[in-house]
Amino acid sequence: MPVDRERVEQFLFREAQLMDEHRFDEWLALWSEPALYWVPSNRDDLDPAREVSLIYDDWVRLQLRIARLKSGFAHAQEPRSRMRRLISNIEIEDVGDWEIVTHSNFLLAELRRGKQDLFAGRTTHRLRPENGSFKLISKKVLLVNNDEPIDNLTFLI
Amino acid sequence: MLSRNGLDYESLVKEDRVHISVYTNPAIFTDEMDKIFHRGWVYVGHRGEIPNPGDFRLKRIGRQPVIMVRDQQGEVHLLLNRCRHRGATVCQREQGNTRSFRCMYHGWTYLLNGDLGGVPSMDGYGEGFKREDLGLVKVPRVGEHRGFIFASLSPAGIALDAHLGRAKEEIDLFAGMSNADEVEVVSGVHKYSYQGNWKLAAENSMDGYHPSIVHASFAQALMDKITHVPTPEQQRVDRNFAAFRGNAKDLGNGHVMLDYRMRIYDPLNGDPAPEVRAVTPEGEARLNNLDRRFGADRAANMLREGGTHTFIFPNLILIGVQMRVLQPLSVDRTEVCLYPTLLKWLAPEVNAIRLRSHEAFFGSASFGGPDDSEIFERVQDGCAVELEPWQLMSRGLHRERHEDGMIVGDLSDETTQRGIWRQWKKIMMQGEVAARSMRKRGAGAVAIKRG
């Protein structure tokens, strides 16, 4: 089946918008089990059984992450970050009947309490076609600054 | 008694309160660097961070950049990162493996033990040039306990053993009674900074009063959203997060701890929690030892989540499976490094659980730590209010007790903060003679003979 590039782009753009606007439930609804939301720490390629990550969320932790952000007591997001991100350089690596793998770059401007930070990186999404769109099975985010001090990464990246 | 910079520490730190200038006054920060970080014992790093010959890692002792390096014989050296010729740093990478350190200004090259090796175009120097006097400057005193390396830039003073005192037992428990080489510190680092004084993180790390408020989001989400069916015990723990019980203890010399029994991360790590097993005979022995002392259930939890909750004055915090190091940058900026640890004798799946337990609550994207940092910045901001310049640290003063030579309070009491401040005040009020003589010695140590 030929991949519909525009549909893939639309999915990635929509995910970006939901993250930028803290639309937690809608973002969570993009996901399907078994989920892996992974942001490595220190370097891009690591063994999660031996090395620490910034985020290594399975399905349970993904629920917990969103529940926490919605609790009203997540002080590091009070006030919330204001964000906009650009998604670009989209490559669709592997096409099969059951799965699509995409790589894309992002540039995120994040503003909170008078301080604006830039985050940049490359994300690999694993998507499963479903009902004319996709479900997110995993995403791995390689931050340019994953070996530098990061003061607050409590928003969705 | 006024110190040389006119600061009256006696009046700034009371038994039940501290004056906000201890968090905001740059002169106090400079004095702290001198008296606490450049004279006393500070934690530098762990042997497990540099397991192989030639491994190095950049560190700081106060403001001084230091290379922690293991030589070919396995000996660890702490070398000040500054070429003896024209003063450039000789090591730039945060960590790595090397055979030597080469200054990229004029090519002076140093061996792993700090000795000066090659100097290009030696004919430019006369007979008085003594290569042996021009090695990288070594940190005057280095001490070790179970692979934890401490250093002092002062050639004289209290022995490390006496400084650590009771805190040694907590280091032992943190290490699961392992020897120095069984503690693995190869899992990377979580790093963050905050716009606030370094002592705010020290105080907060040993604050048993704040979790149910600062970390309400974690407790509530844990209760509401764990999708597997928790065991009755886990349900009880989840409910009790807001009111868990234990003691706050002042171990002496500024070392303090929170002593409690609590499963925090097991509910996130599957049900039932993975069995803890050893993969070496030595590990089997250590596991049995912990089982006997704490019971099998508690021992297993200690190995999955961490065995102590201790602050070692002035810059090391042992919480969960992590060694947390405070790096003051300025009076209102602090960097924090978290080093999660593995134990060589634990089964791989148990070590993986240690990392997952750590990630749940600690690090920049976790469910706990960033909320603490947020509070530090709010406190620093609050220090702008000078009309009523005191912070209260009186909680539990009326109910403290002395047990076994320690001051003990309820888990939520400020016994721990008072213990830190007592040591801080003692050091900051110490006479000026020692500081002056240290500076003189420091100048002598870097003097070179004229060629």
Q: pLDDT tens for residues B358-385? A: 999 999 999 999 999 999 999 999 999 9
The minimum CA-CA distance between B418 and chain A, rounded to whole Å, is: 26
Query: What's the pLDDT at B239?
Result: 52
Reading the block at residue B125, the tokens are 């120097």
* Yes or no, beta carbons of A67 and B221 under 8 Å apart: yes
Mean pLDDT score of chain B, rounded to an integer? 91
Query: What's the pLDDT at B244?
Result: 67
* Yes or no, beta carbons of A149 and B335 under 8 Å apart: yes
Test the B interface: residue of A19, A70, A73, A141 with most B CBs within 10 Å: A73
Q: How many CA atoms lie within 13 A of A153 on its CB side?
A: 30
Residues of chain A with pLDDT under 50: none
Cβ contact A35:A138 at 8 Å: yes
The residue in chain B having the minimum alpha-carbon distance to the alpha carbon of residue A55 is B365
Query: What's the pLDDT at B165?
Result: 98
Put simply, whether B225 touches A (Cβ < 8 Å) is yes
Tell me the pLDDT band of B440, cut-offs 50, 70 and 90: low
Query: What's the pLDDT at A112?
Result: 98
Put simply, whether B371 touches A (Cβ < 8 Å) is yes
Interface contacts (A, B; CB < 8 Å): 123
Q: Which run of H or E residues covers position B123?
A: none
Query: What's the pLDDT at A128?
Result: 94
Return the bridge partners of A107, or none: A86, A120
* Yes or no, beta carbons of A42 and B189 under 8 Å apart: yes
Put simply, whether B193 touches A (Cβ < 8 Å) is yes
Q: Which residues in chain A have Cβ-Cβ distances shorter than 8 Å to B221? A: 64, 67-68, 71
The residue in chain B having the minimum alpha-carbon distance to the alpha carbon of residue A49 is B352
- Considering only the beta carbons, identify the residue of A53, A63, A148 that sits closest to B191: A148
The minimum CA-CA distance between A96 and chain B, rounded to whole Å, is: 31
Query: Which of helix, strand or coil describes residue B60?
Result: strand
Q: Which residues in chain A have Cβ-Cβ distances shorter than 8 Å to B371? A: 74-76
* Nearest to A19, CA basis, from A79, A72, A67, A84: A84
Strands (E), A62-99: 82-95
- Considering only the beta carbons, identify the residue of B225, B358, B373 that sits closest to A67: B225
Query: What's the pLDDT at B4?
Result: 58
Query: What's the pLDDT at A76?
Result: 98
* Yes or no, beta carbons of B374 and A147 under 8 Å apart: no
The minimum CA-CA distance between B295 and chain A, rounded to whole Å, is: 27
Q: What is the 3-state secondary structure (H, E, C) of B285-303?
A: HHHHHHHHHHCHHHHHHHH
The minimum CA-CA distance between B191 and chain A, rounded to whole Å, is: 4
Q: Which residues in chain B have Cβ-Cβ distances shorter than 8 Å to A46? A: 188
pLDDT digits (tens, 9 = 90+) for B306-328: 999 999 999 999 999 999 999 99
Query: What's the pLDDT at A2?
Result: 66
Greater model confidence, B149 or B236 = B149
Cβ contact B176:B303 at 8 Å: yes
Greater model confidence, B229 or B391 = B391
Which residues does B28 contact at the CB level (< 8 Å), separation at least 6? Answer: B7, B21, B22, B331, B428
Burial of B78-114, coded b for 16+ CB within 10 Å and e otherwise, reads bbbbbbbbeeebbbeeeeeeeeebbbeeeebbbbbeb
Tell me the pLDDT band of B44, cut-offs 50, 70 and 90: very high
Angstrom distance (rounded) from CA B24 to CA A97: 61
Q: What is the mean pLDDT of residues B117-140?
A: 96
ipTM rounded to 2 decimals: 0.96
Reading the block at residue B450, the tokens are 């004229």
Put simply, whether A145 touches B (Cβ < 8 Å) is no
